[in-house]
Structure 1
Amino acid sequence: MVSYMSDSGIKVRPCERRDIQAALKIFRDGCIDNSQDIFRVFLHRQTARLYISIIAFVAWVFFRSFAISGSVIITTVAVMYVVSYIKSAAYAKRRMMTDLRDIKRNYMDSRKAEMFIAEDDGEVVGTATVSAMKVDSTALELQTLSVSRLYRRSGIGTMLVAAAIKYGKSNRYEKIMSHASESQMAAQRLLEKSGFKIKSRKLTSFFPFFRLYNKVYCYRLRESE
């Protein structure tokens, strides 16, 4: 059983039945917060600005009104924010309808998966899940990692990743895989700081004219021993 406590009093341990609802809330909140990061990436893309400019120009050609053109820009940006939120919420719901729907069966009672929680004085403040990959029996996947808003940038993410690594070593896996999109800068820094190496990059569609880069990471357990 992987369980330890930091000098600050934060304890990382396997999830128990009493932790499930709090862990799900932290995961759901993390997904929603990521929608804001996706939106910021969108606003910084030159292609996004170009499309918004074209839409605004078309509105000006039709109506010959800068007020209407400006309103179109605001509406377009607002729609993109709403879409970011809806897609992030849909991802959270999809995960909560699959493996996270029955945490006890899929993680707590499983020999090939584990959910870790971080707690501070009895309060759940972070969660992470790992499970054996179906396509590679020698590999684990770090599937989710979420930290409560008030506890971010306090080392809890590092502790949860360390717990996943320790779990992988104790169960004799050869590697741990994970991924992070370009909107998840904090997750990228955390994985790289923890010793994960970038294995590949891929593009995933988000809007019809907006795609996100996803980095696939690998941590070699055997080489690190």
Structure 2
Amino acid sequence: MAPYRIRQYEDRDYEAVRAIFAQGILEHVPAGYFHVLMRLQVQLFFWGLFLAVLVASGSLLVSLAALALTVTGSWFGLRSMWTSYVQQALRSDLRDIRRTYLEAADSCLWVAESDGAAVGMVAAVLPEDPSQRGSALELKRMSVAREYRGQGIARALSMTVIRFAQERGYSTVVLATSMVQFAAQHLYERLGFQKVRERSPSALARFLQFSIFYYRYEIPGAR
């Protein structure tokens, strides 16, 4: 097990942090695609397409080709959606990390460092929901490089955010994660986060029964 330490972000971490975030998000594409394929409405759509082409063309080969193209296209379409999310983050809060996380009030970004390199990251920011301002901080951008997982780094990063919030007088830490980020859900629930709601971010997400889970952690002893 390689030793690591948690420290505040430094400008030399810029490219590593952006890469860790992007890789961490995009690795969930297969799980997201599997989720989509398992939806009954999607399977009915594929079968309907197959039968419609079969009836129209009279060719089993053409029908199979149409189905294969549609399945393949849906993979690239889904990957494009996840990629767009990554690009949006890289153009917004992760474009000027120092300004977003180190110069803003009650915000910070930390990295886990091992062998002189950043191998994990997490941030704390004021929540987007105005009703949570003043009582909660949001845990955001959690990611650990694949080869460094299983060492307790994600747990240590999470606890760093919790302590940061507690030191600044906040009583709650909130976060959001997608329904296919299973390891993240397991980690947060083991730490004591409670899932308080779930929401589909778009009409397409509702159709595909894809949700974002929202978690809340009440800091013990906080007022």
Same fold (TM over 0.5): yes
CA deviation map 1:149-180 (0-9, x unaligned):
21233322111111111111111111111112
Counterpart mapping for 1:1-225 below 5 A: 8-134=2-128, 135=130, 136-205=133-202, 206=204, 209-223=207-221
**1:48–1:209: 8 Å Cα contact kept in structure 2?**
no
Higher strand share: 1
Q: SS at the partner of 1:111?
A: coil
**Matched length:** 219
Shift of 1:223: 4.6
Give 5+ residue unaligned stretches, structure 1.
1-6
TM-score w.r.t. the length of structure 2 is 0.91
CA deviation map 1:60-83 (0-9, x unaligned):
111112111111221111111111
Pair 1:67–1:207, CA change in 2 (3 A): farther
Pair 1:171–1:80, CA change in 2 (3 A): same
> 22-31 vs 109-118, which deviates more?
109-118
Q: SS at the partner of 1:70?
A: helix
Shift of 1:8: 5.0
Shift of 1:52: 1.0
Equivalent-residue separation in structure 2 for 1:208 and 1:180 (angstroms): 16
**2:171–2:222: 8 Å Cα contact kept in structure 1?**
no
TM-score w.r.t. the length of structure 1 is 0.90
Equivalent-residue separation in structure 1 for 2:57 and 2:89 (angstroms): 45
Equivalent-residue separation in structure 2 for 1:10 and 1:208 (angstroms): 41
Shift of 1:208: 8.2
Q: SS at the partner of 1:129?
A: strand
Give 5+ residue unaligned stretches, structure 2.
none
Q: CA RMSD in A?
A: 1.9
**1:115–1:129: 8 Å Cα contact kept in structure 2?**
yes
Pair 1:219–1:208, CA change in 2 (3 A): closer
**1:203–1:214: 8 Å Cα contact kept in structure 2?**
yes
Shift of 1:56: 1.1
**1:16–1:108: 8 Å Cα contact kept in structure 2?**
no
**2:20–2:143: 8 Å Cα contact kept in structure 1?**
yes
Pair 1:34–1:155, CA change in 2 (3 A): same
CA deviation map 1:6-38 (0-9, x unaligned):
x85111111111111100111011121122221
